[in-house]
A and B are shown apart, each in its own frame.
Chain A
Amino acid sequence: MIEGLVQLFLWQGLGELASKFLLPSIPGPVLGLILLVVYLVMKGEVNPQLEQVADHFRQHLGLLFVPASVGVLLFLPELKTHALAVSTALLVSVVLTIGVTAVVLKVFWYLSLKYGKGQRHE
């Protein structure tokens, strides 16, 4: 558990450094993520400690953004004024996002199976 956390903190730290000195437009943790993926691909396996901690984080990711979301209190009056616009935008956008992603992927996948250079069927 602790071992996995230490690894994550180290990659996060590396990412923060890279963000500060090399690529300021990308958040440090995202760079840490990219570096860790590259490392895992080179190494060819995930060690069990890291896997365990990453799994916990994924399961309870939601808890971590509660503190920030509670800040919605500060925006309540503004949200009330624009409630209809905001909810319509979110609803329509979710439907379109899921629909478009699925349809593009399906169409593109079948096109490439049909015309691709010997893609294997699965």
Chain B
Amino acid sequence: MNERLPISEIWVYLSGDPLFALIITLATYQLGYVLYVRAKRNPIVNPVAISVVLTCIIISVLEMPYEKYFEGAQFVHFLLGTATVALAVPIYNGFKRMKGKIFHMWVALMAGSTVSIISAVAIAQWMGASNNMVGSMYAKSVTAPIAMGIAERIHVSPTLTAVFTVITGMLGAILAPYILNALKIHQWWIRGTAIGVGAHGLGITRAFSVNEEAGIFASMAMGLNGVMSAIGLPIVLTYLRPYLGI
């Protein structure tokens, strides 16, 4: 390593370039996505989880600090906001399909997201998780781009929130069919709505592959849940924080 070989010079040049972080991020995701499609979209083979784990391994092996990696990867990260705005389209398409059901969905979403937050926060706190961890449970049932925006507003870690969101999406997509069958819920639109709240992005992809109606309702539920939480959570927390001790 002491001798400056040409190859190592190229390496030093490349690893200092934002392009390198972008290549790792996109290439690992691409690999994850190919595996996911090969596995017939089995939610256990989650492309995001694969990409995150591989990227973590690669930058650890190369001893690249996270800040350095993020300098390059921020170009991908930046598009989160744009992707959030794009959720307007499935919400609008959903509105057209579900006249007369919107109020019901809204009530169910309120119930679902309240239970989601309270159960996650209460269990984590009761089992002695640190404040950092407990705080990041608040927004984990919201789709990641919105969840991270909320995390910034309520001053908890956007990173942990994103990670918990990804895990929630995986668990939800894997477990949803069993939960819904056990509860004897057979209507596609109700199944879709529950999946959109509980399993967001990954659940939706799965819902679409099973039934189109379920997919549309899931997309809409995910979007609406995100908007409601973004508006409601910061307000609720301002009043509740003193009692929760977080």
Give A contacts to B, CB under 8 Å. 5, 8-9, 11-12, 15-16, 25-30, 32-34, 36-37, 40-41, 46, 50-51, 53-55, 57-75, 78-79, 81-82, 84-86, 88-106, 108-109, 112, 119-120
Please classify how large the interface on chain B is, using the bins under 10, 10 to 19, 20 to 34, 35 or more.
35 or more
Using A25-B235, A94-B175, A97-B198 as known contacts, say yes or no to A65 and B88 having CB atoms under 8 A apart.
Answer: no
CB nearest neighbor in A for B202 = A62
Using A29-B84, A67-B70 as known contacts, say yes or no to A62 and B29 having CB atoms under 8 A apart.
Answer: yes
Q: Indicate whether B183 reaches chain A with its CB closer than 8 angstroms.
A: yes
CB nearest neighbor in B for A103 = B183
When distances are taken between beta carbons in the complex, the residues of chain B under 8 Å from A5 are 82
User: Do residues B104 and A71 form an inter-chain contact, with CB atoms below 8 A?
Assistant: no
User: Do residues A101 and B79 form an inter-chain contact, with CB atoms below 8 A?
Assistant: no
User: Do residues B85 and A75 form an inter-chain contact, with CB atoms below 8 A?
Assistant: no
When distances are taken between beta carbons in the complex, the residues of chain B under 8 Å from A60 are 29, 33
Report which of A34, A36, A71 forms a contact with B70, defined as CB distance below 8 A. A71
User: Do residues B179 and A99 form an inter-chain contact, with CB atoms below 8 A?
Assistant: yes
Q: Indicate whether B245 reaches chain A with its CB closer than 8 angstroms.
A: no
Using A30-B146, A90-B168, A105-B190 as known contacts, say yes or no to A70 and B73 having CB atoms under 8 A apart.
Answer: yes
Shortest C-beta distance, A72 to chain B (Å), equals 5
CB nearest neighbor in A for B114 = A100
When distances are taken between beta carbons in the complex, the residues of chain A under 8 Å from B84 are 12, 27, 29-30, 32-33
Report which of A63, A90, A112, A120 forms a contact with B120, defined as CB distance below 8 A. A90
- A57 to B56, alpha carbons, bound, how many Å? 24
| Residue interface mask B122-164, A partner, CB < 8 A = 1 | 0110011110110001001101111011101100011110111
User: Do residues B185 and A86 form an inter-chain contact, with CB atoms below 8 A?
Assistant: no
User: Do residues B85 and A15 form an inter-chain contact, with CB atoms below 8 A?
Assistant: yes
Shortest C-beta distance, A84 to chain B (Å), equals 7
Shortest C-beta distance, A21 to chain B (Å), equals 16
Q: Indicate whether B45 reaches chain A with its CB closer than 8 angstroms.
A: no
User: Do residues B171 and A101 form an inter-chain contact, with CB atoms below 8 A?
Assistant: no
Max count, chain A CB within 10 A of own CB: residue among B145, B150, B176: B145
CB nearest neighbor in B for A27 = B149
- A59 to B86, alpha carbons, bound, how many Å? 11
CB nearest neighbor in A for B113 = A97
User: Do residues B194 and A67 form an inter-chain contact, with CB atoms below 8 A?
Assistant: no
When distances are taken between beta carbons in the complex, the residues of chain A under 8 Å from B109 are 101
Report which of A33, A61, A104 forms a contact with B88, defined as CB distance below 8 A. A33
When distances are taken between beta carbons in the complex, the residues of chain A under 8 Å from B145 are 29, 61, 64-65
When distances are taken between beta carbons in the complex, the residues of chain A under 8 Å from B185 are 102-103, 106
When distances are taken between beta carbons in the complex, the residues of chain B under 8 Å from A57 are 79, 82-83, 86
